[in-house]
Amino acid sequence: MEYKVVPFVASIDPKKGTSNHVAEQLESLIKNYTNQGWEYVRLESVSTFVHPDSGCFGLGAKPGYTTNSQMVVFQKK
């Protein structure tokens, strides 16, 4: 079995965007890969720790933080 994992980041207008717009973007992504022979499996949330940046001589230092990304999982049999 073969797998493909694709990042999913929805983009909406904060004044006009709705959850329907997000759903349409995800549906479009799924349809695109389905047309290429991939089968949708699930949407996964992946947490990533970004290491702190000490800057130059401590100037501009940035603390570490955790971020979450959505990944769409597809498979081919």
CA distance 74 to 40: 4
Mean pLDDT rounded to a whole number for the chain = 92
Coil, helix or strand for 2?
strand
Residue 58 pLDDT greater than 80, yes or no: no
Domain positions in the chain are 2-76
Within 10 Å of residue 22's Cβ, how many Cβ atoms? 14
Mean pLDDT check: name the lowest of 25-29, 45-49, 56-60, 67-71. 56-60
